[in-house]
Every structure is written in C-alpha cells, then in structure tokens.
Structure 1
Amino acid sequence: MAKPFNPPPAQSRPARPAKAPFSEPEAALHDVPPSAWLLALEVRAIWEFSALLPAWPLLNRAPRGDSHPVVVFPGLTANDISTAPLRRYLQLLNHSACGWDQGFNFGPRPGVMDEARDQLVRTFESTGRKVSLLGWSLGGIYARELAKEVPQMVRGVITLGTPFAGSHKSTNAWRLYELASGRSIERESESYNLPKAPPVPTTSIYSRTDGVVAWQGSVQSPGSENPQTENIEVLASHVGLGFNPSAWWAIADRLAQPEGQWTPFMRETRGRIQGLIYPYPSRPG
C-alpha cells in the first residue's frame, strides 16, 4: 500500500520530478468528504484488527529501532487506549513509545498544545535524544505543528489519515470536531498553515478508501523547503489505520531509519510479500 510521491533530497538523487497525486489548485479546492458508501465501509476496522495475528510472523520481521523516544497522539475523541496495541508493537521493536497522557482527545482546547509541547520538551531533555512524533488523524495535526515549533527536538513525524491539505469540510468528522472541542474548525484552520510540511522528515500514511477523511487531504505536496517528505498509501479504513498490518510495517520501517539518514519508502526493496500489499510501486523522483 505505498506510494511516496515526493522526490528525495536533490543533492543525493537529481532525478525526474515526482508525479504528484493531484495539482496544487485541486488540493486547495478539494472540499468533498468521502462518500456515504466509504463511511459505511469503516466497519472494515474489525477485520484489520483481526488481521494482525496472521500477519504477525511478517510484522515481527520489521526493522528494529534504536530505542529512541516516540510519542503517539490519538485521534479525535480517542485516548491512549486506542493506540496501545500500536505502541506495544513499537516497544517490541525496541522503540521507547509512549502515549500523550492527556486522556480523550477533544481537540486543541486551552492548554492541550501547551501540555503536548511540555511533554515533548521533557522527553527530549530527559533522554537527550530527538523524539519521533506519531499522530493518528487529528493527533497528526498536533505532531506536525509541534515539529514546526521545535524542530530541533524532533527526529521525524508520521501521520495516519491526518487531514492537513484539504478544506475543513473534506472530512466526515468536522461537525464532531466542533461538538467535541466547542471551537469553530474553520476559524481554527485559519490559525495554522496546515498544508506546510514540518522541517523534519515527514511521512503521511493514507488510504484512498478512508471513509472519514478524503484521501487528497492527507497527501503532502512536494516542496523545496523540505524534500524529506513522502506519502505512503495503504489499503485501510480510517478507524482501522492504527491497527492495519501494512500501516504498522510502514511505521516500523520509517522509525527504524538511523537519525540523519532518511531515505524514501521503497516498496520494491521491502521484499516480494510487502510489494504485494502496497497499491503502487514506490519510486522516488
């Protein structure tokens, strides 16, 4: 399920321009949420979770980490329980993964981003190592914005079905967001430059069959400011992204990269089996 559309660093591989999934004008105008049919198919999440067991022999062969810290942010109205299986998997792969420790995610209410920033600073200072930030849906917005604020403390960012590139109406959850947070999502979106990628290695994992977030809103457009960005497509539901075996493998692969040695995800180099589960070949540049 992988296809990074972004070119690698120009200095290392000056190749042909990457083929973007849609044009900049199209991205700016995209405000159509997934269809009711795709939303109904979110029940697939049950199957995705149940697929973890038969996929375990492969998942257990994923690259190991170097025990650097990873903070995982849950999605809207979810808490750390929702990310517990993923965090446990990362811990087994030698990553120091932890939750966000703020209970349910009801949006960026007063103090939420401040506490998230404090947690990042504490983790960085106590370990002496840069922190990877992993966010599911709305949690990915937190991860991206924190990385923009204090990039010197962040090793990289990975998001799962995070809507950063489309209109606030390009999701089926914007009304739930306003209800849960008590804030106007349109006014909130105007306070941040969400489409801009953080100045650190950034991976967006998304699905074209996402029933909550329009997939176009989760694709990072290529940019000269940070060539170390990529998009990895998986076959998944939105609710199941955090339990999807192919998403887990991609996350593990990205986190295992040595610090300062980022390379784009390449489906062809991950083995024949992995090559079959990603929709398109991954060719940088």
Structure 2
Amino acid sequence: MLATAPKGDGRPVMLLPGLVNSDRSMAPMRRYLNRLGYRAVGWGLGRNFGARAIGGAEGDRLIAQVAKLHDETGETVTLVGVSLGGIMARFVAHRRPDLVREVITVASPYAGDPRATRVWRQFQWLTGERLDDAGVVARRREIARPLPVPATAIWSRSDGLVNGLICRAPDEPGLRCIEIRSGHLGVQIRPQALCAIADVLGGVAR
C-alpha cells in the first residue's frame, strides 16, 4: 500500500510533532515522504511543549522556521502536523498564509472543546495553560476558523485519546476530511495515515 503512493514533486514539507514529542517521532514519516520525492524536514524546535508558546516568542520561532524553508526553496511550504502539531500548523497558516501551500492535520483536535479528550488535564499540567484563560480561548477560536489555504483533516473514530469528531470541521469551506482507523498514539507511523498524507500531496482521491 505504501509503495503505490504517487511520487513527489520535490516540494518542501515541514512536519510538526505532537505534544512532548520531537522530530524523532516524525522520522519514519520524514523518511517515507523523502523517498517519495518530497523535501520533508522536521520543525527543528525540539520537543513540543504546548500551544501557549505560539502566542509569543516560540510562535515567532516557528514562523521563522517556515519562512527559512520558504526562502531556501523559493516555494510555499506544506505543513503536516500531528495532534498538537496540527493545531500549531493551522496557527502558522492563519498568521502567514503567504508562506504556506497547504495544511494537513492528523488527529488534531482543533474543532471543538479540548475537554473532549482524555488528556486535557495532563495538557494543562505539561504546558501551564488553563483552557479557560481568555488568551487561550481567543487563540483556539482563531485556529478553528476556516483556513485561507487548502486544508485536509485526517481523523479516526477509534482515536482513543481525543474525540475524533473534533479533529475535523465538516462545515469548513474547502476542507478535505479523510477518516482512517487508528489509535492516537503512533498515528504518525500508521501505514493508513502515511498513505492518506501521500495521496493528499499527490492529488489523489481514494
């Protein structure tokens, strides 16, 4: 199944890891997309310790990483984010759509109440964020707004950690929703998820 994916065209693709994960967690995806012929890179910012930082200096650093890849390649960048990484990818696309070609989120609960997960308390503890803080609520609403670039949401009813139904917004204009069968942990290395990403990049509908 992985071998039947369409070949890449060399476009730049940046991979954003989930909460507390680093580029290492995205290495199998990165290798796969590079073998297909894309220029896939990590985000280069170490472990992902939460979305709070994107409202300040860390957000500037992430946007700077995307801008650097854009400048190096002369092309807009496709952002592929897993879980919290997908939420942050949407943040970048809202703030700097001139840098972003498209956004692909994988198991990213951006479209509903974050308490519709089994890990929201752990999220607050790890990140220092309070979900009801005014700034957090405002940022969540911004991220959930329809994107100004093409977007795909890959999600699963059998996620187990987050409610898969809030990992996509069917009423978002132009959003492509792809349902897969996968648990949340390790979704970034599931063959079905990798194939779905490759199909989106290759413009294939299955």
**TM-score between both structures, scaled by the size of structure 2:** 0.92
| Alignment-derived partner of residue 153 in structure 2 | 204
Cα distance in 2 for residues equivalent to 1:174 and 1:112: 21
Q: Which amino acid aligns with 2:12?
A: P
1:1-285 equivalent positions in 2, closer than 5 A: 58-108=1-51, 109=53, 110-187=56-133, 188-193=136-141, 194-223=143-172, 227-257=173-203, 266-267=205-206
The answer to whether the Cα contact below 8 Å between 2:2 and 2:195 also exists between their aligned partners in 1 is: yes
CA distance in 2, matches of 1:175, 1:152: 35
1:218: how far off?
Answer: 0.7
Whole-Å separation in 2 of the counterparts to 1:189 and 1:77: 21
Q: Residues of 2 paired with 1:186 and 1:168: CA distance?
A: 10
Tell me if structure 1 keeps the 8 A contact 2:8–2:36. Answer: yes
Tell me, yes or no, if the aligned pair for 1:65 and 1:256 is still in contact at 8 Å. Answer: yes
Give CA deviations for 1:131-183 in whole Å, capped at 9, x if unaligned.
Answer: 00000000001101111111122111001100111112011121121111112
Rg comparison, structure with higher value: 1
Rounded Cα–Cα distance in structure 2 between residues aligned with 1:96 and 1:266: 22
Shift >4 Å, 4+ stretches: none
Give, in whole Å, the separation in 2 of the partners of 1:214 and 1:191.
20
SS where residue 40 of structure 2 aligns? strand
How many residue pairs end up in the alignment? 200
Aligned-partner Cα distance in 1 for 2:62–2:84: 13
CA distance in 2, matches of 1:132, 1:208: 25
CA contact (8 A) 2:110 2:140 kept: no
The residue type equivalent to 1:190 in the other structure is A
3-state DSSP class of the match of 1:98?
strand
**Secondary structure of 1:64 counterpart:** coil
Are the equivalent residues in 1 in contact too, given 2:199–2:205 (CA < 8 A)? no
Q: Could you list the runs of 5+ residues in structure 2 that have no partner in the other structure?
A: none
> Identity rate of aligned residues, in percent?
38
CA contact (8 A) 1:168 1:186 kept: no
Whole-Å separation in 2 of the counterparts to 1:248 and 1:192:
27
Aligned amino acid, residue 81 of structure 2: G
Q: Deviations over 1:176-225 (max 9, x none)?
A: 211111121332133332321211110000000011110111122324xx
SS in 2 for 1:179: helix
TM-score by length of structure 1 reads 0.67
Q: Secondary structure at the match of 1:192?
A: helix
**Unmatched runs of 5 consecutive residues or more in structure 1:** 1-57, 258-264, 268-285
CA separation in 1, counterparts of 2:11 and 2:180? 26
Answer 1 or 2: which has greater strand percent.
2
C-alpha distance in 1, partners of 2:42/2:132?
28
